[in-house]
A and B are shown apart, each in its own frame.
Chain A
Amino acid sequence: MELLVASAIGLMTAAGIYLILRLRTFSVILGLAMLSYAVNVFIFASGRVTVGKPPILSAAASGYTDPLTQALVLTAIVISFGMTAVIVMMALGSYLNTGSDRIDMDDEGETR
């Protein structure tokens, strides 16, 4: 279980970093999305990995999982969705305005 969670976070982070180092906005956005998935799982795991325990008070519960990380990850998801929407709109606007989807500011090679 721990191995699975850890390697999932690691793989997603690696893929995300590879993608944000590319030159085109589309792959950069995919990379950012990948990184935000990784960080969401990471936040979730920082409250320790527990299986089958409730995060809210319950009379039948034998133990609890950390509720705070679930609240944190909810906020993080909402914010990263909003931010992804913003950058998608911006990238689209930039593409329609400049005719290029390169993310760097180099003026050469602008015409595709």
Chain B
Amino acid sequence: MNHWIIAPVVLPALLAPFMMLTMRRDLMLQRVFGLAGTLALLGIAAGLLVSATGTPADVYFLGNWPAPFGIVLVLDRLSALMLGLTAVLALAVQLYAISTDWDTRGRHFHVLLLFQLMGLNGAFLTGDAFNLFVFFEVLLIASYGLMIHGGGRDRLRAGVQYIAFNLVGSTLFLFALATVYSVTGTLNFADLAVKVANLPEGDAALIRVAGVLLLLVFAIKGALVPLHFWLPNTYAFAPGPVAALFAVMTKVGAYATIRIYTLVFPTGTPATGTLFAEILQPAALITLGVGVLGVLGAQTLGRLVAFAAIASMGTLFIAIAAFTPQALAAGLYYLIHSTLAGGALFLICDMVSDRRADDRLTRALPPIPQHGLIGALFLAGAIAAAGMPPLSGFLGKLLILDATRGPGMALVWSVILATSLISIVGFARAGSTLFWKAHESAPQARPVHKAEPLSFAAVFGLLAALLALTVFAGPVTGWLEVTAAGLFDPAAYIDANTLPTGGTP
């Protein structure tokens, strides 16, 4: 039993209250400890990534209780990947927030960030459906705090909507879990996989209902149409670095969908069959369409990037809905790409709207400080988000197109290709208003703006990660193919959940 598995949950859970109790007045100490915590999480995630590559699945039995009775944390390649991704994004967000003084506009930014990381890490690691709910709530309650960080009336109004929507989602989640429990009598993923596969005929209808309810919950998290309404306002009004961190929060929905629907309800299950793929695919296609139309029609920069995030979730869910190892490997590649690209784009967008003091796209304003550099960054972010060569978004989309060959390919291909074109147009329109037409408008005295080298470092770091993902696409996809193959052959995952002999308490 590898004790490091629980570290990504325990470390922020201990550090955050410690920071809140002992250094609530001292921002400098909070910054130092917050950064140290995130760096430590990055180190632990890297270590877990290495250890998960070697073994098929590693299980941490809390209190050494055997699996269906006790709570377990499971580390496999997928959860290790998500931990690493979260830590990288969190580090960039934290550097950016420190550099731009976002963390001084309200209290406890770093504490809330750590609690959010605890919830995210727990959700990625847990091997138990009810614990998934609990960690969802932990990450949500931290995200409520982060969402309204800095205050202001628009942010508060958007925050109330966001909370109300998510509370309905949580209620739905509990209904789904109770239905699953009433049918199978267990909530452990591995145990569920065994029980659902051998379900008596009469319970099939009830488990189908539970499966669809769960899918709805994950669709709310992943902002799938028609459950995406919370996202544009939330992301547009959330503080810039927080919106960037939320780029990984939508991926929790994708992660949970991948986990549950490959492990518990694989397409070969007699009770459910391909039901979930049939629901998911049209929803994903429409999500992609709605996302790019939003990009095209957005009146403010914040909404533009928010709709780009919806579009990226659509693309990701298209790959997931195919439910083949090849498509899932492509989808995971796109998941890494879209998290990093989304985070970078939100940070760049915050740089622009902070300097412009107006994020409306309807009129051009005089050039902003550091005009050329930020313009170039926006170009890079837009290329990444739209999926143009040479960055990894292009490779990700190419892999997804390649993996969705077969019946129904005409529809999927035409939607992905047409939406790519539309989103390029949308980004080009925004870019020309922000950076080209700026030179035509009346020149004003340039306001002085502090240089913020750290925030540029954060954005360049994310873009460099994208570049690395592009350059090392070969080894990365090779690693992801093994990951996807492991997800479609869950025997190792299920076996890992039995307590090793001699491990009785």
Determine if A94 and B144 form an interchain contact, defined as CB atoms under 8 angstroms apart. no
Classify chain B: how many residues form its interface, as a range.
20 to 34
Chain B, range 117-164, C-beta contacts under 8 Å to A: 130, 134, 137, 141, 144, 148, 151-153, 156-161, 163-164
Q: Cα distance A104–B162 when bound, in Å? A: 11
Contact partner, B182, options A35, A38, A46, A84, Cβ 8 Å: A46
Q: Cα distance A48–B148 when bound, in Å? A: 41
In the bound complex, residues from chain B placing their C-beta under 8 Å from that of A48 are 182
In the bound complex, residues from chain A placing their C-beta under 8 Å from that of B177 are 43, 72
Q: Cα distance A78–B337 when bound, in Å? A: 37
> In this assembly, does B415 line the interface, its C-beta being within 8 Å of a C-beta of chain A?
no
Name A42's closest neighbour in chain B (CB-CB): B178
- 11 further A-B contacts with Cβ under 8 Å, apart from A28-B164, A42-B178, are A35-B171, A47-B181, A72-B177, A76-B174, A83-B163, A86-B144, A87-B164, A93-B156, A98-B157, A104-B161, A105-B158
Q: Cα distance A69–B174 when bound, in Å? A: 12
In the bound complex, residues from chain A placing their C-beta under 8 Å from that of B181 are 43, 46-47, 68-69, 72
Determine if A83 and B174 form an interchain contact, defined as CB atoms under 8 angstroms apart. no
Determine if A79 and B137 form an interchain contact, defined as CB atoms under 8 angstroms apart. yes
The smallest beta-carbon distance between B397 and chain A, in angstroms, is: 32
> In this assembly, does B53 line the interface, its C-beta being within 8 Å of a C-beta of chain A?
no
> In this assembly, does A103 line the interface, its C-beta being within 8 Å of a C-beta of chain B?
yes
In the bound complex, residues from chain B placing their C-beta under 8 Å from that of A79 are 134, 137, 170
Q: Cα distance A18–B134 when bound, in Å? A: 27
Instruction: Write out, one digit per residue, whether chain B residues 169-186 have a CB within 8 A of any chain A CB (1) or not (0).
Output: 011001101110110000
Determine if B167 and A32 form an interchain contact, defined as CB atoms under 8 angstroms apart. yes
Between A47, A82, A84, A105, the greatest number of chain B beta carbons within 10 A of the residue's beta carbon is seen for: A105
In the bound complex, residues from chain A placing their C-beta under 8 Å from that of B23 are none
The smallest beta-carbon distance between A101 and chain B, in angstroms, is: 9
Determine if A90 and B171 form an interchain contact, defined as CB atoms under 8 angstroms apart. no
Name A104's closest neighbour in chain B (CB-CB): B161
Between B152, B159, B161, B174, the greatest number of chain A beta carbons within 10 A of the residue's beta carbon is seen for: B174
Interchain residue pairs A-B with the least CB separation, the first 9: A46-B182, A46-B178, A94-B156, A43-B178, A39-B174, A98-B153, A97-B153, A35-B171, A87-B163
> In this assembly, does B99 line the interface, its C-beta being within 8 Å of a C-beta of chain A?
no
Determine if B141 and A86 form an interchain contact, defined as CB atoms under 8 angstroms apart. yes
Determine if A86 and B134 form an interchain contact, defined as CB atoms under 8 angstroms apart. no
In the bound complex, residues from chain A placing their C-beta under 8 Å from that of B151 are 97
Determine if B160 and A103 form an interchain contact, defined as CB atoms under 8 angstroms apart. yes
Given contacts A46-B179, A69-B181, contact A39 B171 (CB under 8 A): yes
Chain B: interface secondary structure?
helix
Q: Cα distance A90–B152 when bound, in Å? A: 12
Chain A, range 75-112, C-beta contacts under 8 Å to B: 75-76, 79-80, 82-84, 86-87, 90-91, 93-94, 97-98, 103-105
Contact partner, B163, options A36, A38, A68, A90, Cβ 8 Å: A90
Determine if B164 and A105 form an interchain contact, defined as CB atoms under 8 angstroms apart. no
In the bound complex, residues from chain B placing their C-beta under 8 Å from that of A39 are 171, 174-175, 178
Q: Cα distance A35–B325 when bound, in Å? A: 39
The smallest beta-carbon distance between A44 and chain B, in angstroms, is: 9
In the bound complex, residues from chain A placing their C-beta under 8 Å from that of B160 are 25, 87, 90-91, 94, 103
Q: Cα distance A94–B163 when bound, in Å? A: 12
In the bound complex, residues from chain A placing their C-beta under 8 Å from that of B141 are 82-83, 86
In the bound complex, residues from chain A placing their C-beta under 8 Å from that of B233 are 105
In the bound complex, residues from chain B placing their C-beta under 8 Å from that of A103 are 160-161, 164
Contact partner, A105, options B144, B148, B161, B179, Cβ 8 Å: B161
Given contacts A39-B178, A75-B134, A90-B144, contact A32 B171 (CB under 8 A): yes
Q: Cα distance A54–B92 when bound, in Å? A: 52
Q: Cα distance A49–B244 when bound, in Å? A: 46
Given contacts A72-B130, A97-B156, contact A87 B167 (CB under 8 A): yes
15 contacts between A and B (CB under 8 A): A25-B164, A35-B168, A39-B178, A42-B174, A46-B178, A68-B181, A76-B174, A79-B170, A80-B170, A83-B141, A83-B163, A87-B160, A90-B163, A103-B161, A105-B161
Q: Cα distance A42–B180 when bound, in Å? A: 12
The smallest beta-carbon distance between B62 and chain A, in angstroms, is: 14
Q: Cα distance A14–B233 when bound, in Å? A: 28
Determine if A90 and B156 form an interchain contact, defined as CB atoms under 8 angstroms apart. yes
Name A97's closest neighbour in chain B (CB-CB): B153
Between B144, B159, B171, the greatest number of chain A beta carbons within 10 A of the residue's beta carbon is seen for: B171
Determine if B156 and A98 form an interchain contact, defined as CB atoms under 8 angstroms apart. yes
